[in-house]
Amino acid sequence: MKIQDSELTSYNFAVSLNSVSKTFGTGDTQVKALKDIELNVRCGELLLLVGPSGCGKTTLLSVMAGILDSDDGVVDVFGVRVDKLSQTKKTSFRRQYIGFIFQQFNLIPTLTAAENVAVPLLIIKTPYAKAVKKAREYLSMVGLSERTEFFPTQLSGGQQQRVAIARALVSEPRLIVCDEPTASLDGDTGKLVMEMFRRTALSKDRAIVVVTHDNRIFSYGDRIAEMLDGRIIAVHTDHQQMM
Amino acid sequence: MLRVALQMLIGDRSKYITLVSGLAFVSLLFIQQGSVFCGLMLRTCRPVETIGAEIWVADPNLQSIDDSKPLLDTDLTRVRSVEGVKWAVPLFLRQVQVRLKNGKFQTVRLYGLDSASLVGRPGKMLEGDSSALNAPESVIIGKAESERLGSPKIGDTFEINDRIARVVGIADVPRDFLSNPYVYTTYDRALQYAPRQRKQLNFILVSAKNGVKPEQVIENIQKTTGLAAYTQDGMRWLTIGYYLKNTGIPINIGISLTLVFVVGMAIAGQTFYAFALQNERYFGALKAMGTSSFTLVKMILLQSLTVGLIGYSIGTGAGCLIGWVNQGNRLAFFTPYQLLLISFTVTLTICMLASLISIKRVLQLEPAVVFRN
């Protein structure tokens, strides 16, 4: 079930969040993870979401990506009111619009690098041979043309994250969400991955949101949104301010 | 995505092998126990099949071929006079004791056949000729279990009720439920071999006239004589029914089969659960990337169907191999196609029930789980 053009509104931002709230639990155990979030992500931008553990970064990322429902507010992603979509339409929305990069890579260990990259194409029913061929092209883009038939366990952490980047890009999504993409990598590999990421993933009609704790990669963000206790407390354009 | 599902399954060698071998074991046990049960039941009616008469007449209180109430000799004449009867001959059938040359005793199934027609004689002779039965003191023995008679050859003798019995032929006769050797002789000589009773005639074998249905003749016999009459098939099922009702075989085999099902469920369920737990992250990632719940359910069902089919094939193959290797020996083993179908259904049911655990977990899985480390 594809998102139809009629369901799109005109948009100025890749992501536009207005008064977004999210609460977990009830009674004494209730936790307000997001409180009246106002945030816009521009097209062609790489936005970093930073803040201490438990401040709501990952929750916000999940709400943007349509894998978690907000309680209140407007979640607009490339003109699609994600907060208004049914679960089935949200699944379709993610298929069409979102690319994911995870801290633990989440590469399926029994598939080769090429097959892992091909998964988003297989999900949209691309024939296997065509999907794997395109996956190999994307692996070449991230410098892994020699490793296409390797299994994840045969790759280093940096190589696995590059496979994950190729997987996030292969279906040409408009919004790429990354959760701590360099947390499992050493400093140099993390920088290499981010350089490659900016080079291959950023374009005028695409936006990238990265949740990170890693201040070594702050320089790769166009803007840095700082969170504390479920709120955006500042948006910095100069990464030096954060160092 | 179905290809991905298969690669996820087969790539996890240890769980894949555990699942397949568990299901193969279940299938093998099911086939083995089921075949033994069918084999035993088939053996109970072997004496009926080896005689091969169209219609059997017996006392109305007959319970099985091994538990008959003898008839009066005059009943034979009465049956012969019934409309639609082409011919009727007597059959003596009783367990008697044979005294072997080494002084030991052995129980045998003694058949006394009508001396003129020899109706009920063995179909396949391995040595000798069935017509030799009319010679004095002559008997034909079945090859199966003949070692319990000291594996006699043609010309050898043993004693039945202090009378000499001389082997004139060896027949290819299958084992029956009691696994006693078969000894064939004429009706009159059988009366001499067996200890005397007031009534000696166990059964009357009847053939219907051409153009008359056996069922019609049976009805005529029952109405005219008050005796019980059965087709060969009716006699088989009467005997099988007797053993089903009066022995512990169905309960014992039933318990075994229930245990097989429970053990199968435990192995498959536990392994599928471990498989689901281990792959939760990947299913979560697939869900986040836009895989629908329906596709995920199809993937899990394909995985379970695959291990089920492979396990069933291996188990059934091994089960049938056991049957083939043991052909002709003491193991009662018969695998009808219905048993294969039941085993197939049981194996797939186990797989489907076990996969429900995975399906439930995956359906309840929030895609946001992928961001939790």
Both structure tokens of B300: 């899990």
pLDDT for B337: 92
List of chain B residues whose C-beta atoms are within 8 Å of the C-beta of residue A58: 371-372
- Rounded to whole angstroms, how far apart are CA atoms A65 and A83? 11
Give dist(CA B158, CA B281) in Å, integer.
Answer: 78
Give the tokens for residue B372.
């939790």
Write the pLDDT tens digit of every residue in A70-120. 999 999 998 889 888 888 888 888 988 899 888 778 899 999 999 999 999
What is the percent of chain A with per-residue pLDDT over 90, rounded to a whole number? 28
- For A155-168, write each residue's pLDDT tens digit: 988 888 889 888 98
Helix (H) or strand (E) holding A151, with range, is: none
Q: Name the residue among A189, A171, A173 with its Cα closest to residue A181.
A: A189
Q: Is B106 left (phi over 0), alpha (psi -120 to 50) or beta?
A: beta
Nearest Cα of chain B lies from the Cα of A188 at a distance, in angstroms, of 23
Q: What is the DSSP string of A185-197?
A: S-HHHHHHHHHHH
Nearest to B4 among A102, A103, A119 (CB): A119
Q: So what's the pLDDT on residue B219?
A: 94
Q: What is the pLDDT of residue A75?
A: 92
Partners of B16 on chain A (C-beta within 8 Å) are: none
Q: Rounded distance, CA A94 to CA B89, Å?
A: 85
Q: Which pLDDT does position B362 carry in this prediction?
A: 85
Q: Verify whether the Cβ–Cβ distance A98 to B7 is below 8 Å.
A: no
pLDDT at A128: 92
Q: B-chain residues within 8 Å CB-CB of A93?
A: 290
User: pLDDT-derived band of residue A242, with 50, 70 and 90 as boundaries?
Assistant: low
What 3 state SS string does B156-217 have?
CEEEECCEEEEEEEEECCCCCCCCCCEEEEEHHHHHHHCCCCCCCECEEEEEECCCCCHHHH
Residue of chain B nearest A122, judged by CA positions:
B1
**Where does the pLDDT of residue B260 fall: very low under 50, low under 70, confident under 90, or very high at 90 and above?**
confident
What is the number of residues in chain A? 243
Task: Check residue B195 and give its pLDDT.
Answer: 82
**Chain B residue numbers touching A130 (CB-CB < 8 A):** none
Q: How far apart are CA B140 and CA A27, in angstroms?
A: 92
Task: Please identify which residue in the block is written with the tokens 């959760």.
Answer: A179
Which residues of chain A make contact with B365, given a CB cutoff of 8 A? Answer: none
Q: Report whether pLDDT(B351) > 90.
A: no
Give the ipTM of the model, two decimals please: 0.85
Mean pLDDT of chain A: 86
The predicted structure's pLDDT at residue A1: 58
Read off the amino acid at residue B181. Answer: P
Hey, of B3, B280, B289, B364, which one would you mutate to test binding to chain A, going by the most A CBs within 10 A of its CB? B289
Q: Do A111 and B286 touch (CB under 8 A)?
A: no
Site from B9, B279, B299, B371 to mutate, A interface, most A CB atoms within 10 angstroms: B371
Interchain proximity B285–A106, CB inside 8 Å: yes
Q: What is the pLDDT of residue A132?
A: 94
Buried b (16+ CB within 10 A) or exposed e, B123-146: eebeebebebbeeeebbbbbbbbb
Contact state of B371 with A91 under an 8 Å Cβ cutoff: no
The CA-atom distances, in angstroms, between B187 and each of A67, A97, B119 are 88, 92, 11
- The residue of chain A with its CA nearest to that of B369 is A67
Per residue in B167-183, pLDDT tens? 999 999 888 888 889 99
Chain A positions touching B288 (Cβ under 8 A) are 65, 67, 94, 100
End-to-end CA distance of chain A: 45
Mean pLDDT of A119-130: 92
Please compute the mean of the pLDDT values over residues B210-218 and round it to a whole number. Answer: 92
Predicted confidence at residue A180, as pLDDT, reads: 84
Look at B282 and A108 and tell me if their CB atoms are within 8 Å. yes
**Residue B84 DSSP class:** T
Shortest distance between the Cα of A91 and any Cα of chain B, in A, equals 5
Helix (H, G, I), strand (E, B) or coil at A143: coil
Per-residue pLDDT, averaged over B351-367, amounts to 84
- Indicate the CATH number of A44-65+96-242 among 3.40.50.720, 3.30.420.590, 3.90.1150.10, 3.40.50.300: 3.40.50.300
Contact residues on chain A for B4, CB-CB shorter than 8 A? 108, 111, 115, 119, 122
Average pLDDT of the residues of chain B? 88
Measured between beta carbons, the chain A residues lying within 8 angstroms of B295 are: 123
Query: Across the interface, which of B282, B291, B372 has its CB nearest the CB of A123?
Result: B291
Output helix, strand, coil percentages for chain A, rounded to the nearest 5: 40, 25, 35
Would you state the pLDDT for residue B235?
92
- Cβ contacts of B281 on chain A, cutoff 8 Å: 104, 106
> What does the DSSP assignment read for A182-239?
TTTS-HHHHHHHHHHHHHHH--TT-EEEEE---GGGGGG-SEEEEEETTEEEEEES-G
Could you report the per-residue pLDDT of A197-241, keeping only the tens digit for each? 787 778 888 899 999 888 888 888 889 999 999 899 988 887 666
| pLDDT at A194 > cutoff 70 | yes
Comparing CA positions, the residue from B272, B239, B286 lying closest to residue B360 is: B272
How confident is the model over B28-48, as a mean pLDDT? Answer: 89
pLDDT at A150: 94
pLDDT confidence bin for B221, thresholds 50/70/90: very high
Q: How many CB pairs under 8 A join A and B?
A: 84
Place A151 in a pLDDT band, splitting at 50, 70 and 90. Answer: very high
Between B36 and B329, the higher pLDDT residue: B36
- CB-based contact B290 A68, cutoff 8 Å: no
- B234-248, pLDDT tens digit by residue? 999 999 999 999 888
Task: Render pLDDT for A45-79 as a digit per residue (tens, 0 to 9).
Answer: 899 999 988 888 889 999 998 888 899 999 999 88
- Residue A56, Ramachandran bin (φ over 0: left; ψ between -120 and 50: alpha; else beta): left
Q: Does residue B184 register a pLDDT over 90? A: yes
pLDDT exceeds cutoff 70 at B165: yes
The pLDDT assigned to A6 comes to: 54
- Minimal Cβ distance to B288: which of A94, A96, A124: A94
Interchain contact, A110 vs B10, CB within 8 Å:
yes
Model confidence pLDDT, tens digit, residues B263-315: 888 887 888 788 878 888 888 888 888 898 899 999 989 988 998 899 999 99
Judge if pTM exceeds 0.90: no
Tokens read off for A73 = 């507010």
Rounded distance, CA A56 to CA A230, Å? 5
Tens digit of each residue's pLDDT (9 = 90 or more) over B2-26: 888 898 888 888 888 988 988 898 8
Which run of H or E residues covers position A28? none
Out of B12, B281, B367, name the one closest to residue A110 (CB). B12
Q: Is the pLDDT of residue A243 over 70?
A: no
In this model, does residue B353 exceed pLDDT 60?
yes
Under an 8 A CB cutoff, do A91 and B12 touch?
no
CB contact under 8 A, B281 and A104: yes
A237 to chain B nearest CA, in Å?
Answer: 26
Interface residue of A64, A68, A97, A108 to substitute, partner B, most B CBs within 10 Å: A108
In chain B, domain spans = 2-43+249-371, 72-226
Q: Which helix (H) or strand (E) holds B91?
A: strand B85-99
pLDDT value of residue A187 = 77
Taking an 8 Å cut-off on Cβ atoms, the answer to whether B289 and A88 are in contact is no
pLDDT range class, residue B145, cuts 50, 70, 90? confident
Contact A67 B10 (CB under 8 A): no
pLDDT at B59: 93
pLDDT at A239: 63
**Does the structure show a pLDDT above 70 at B373?**
no
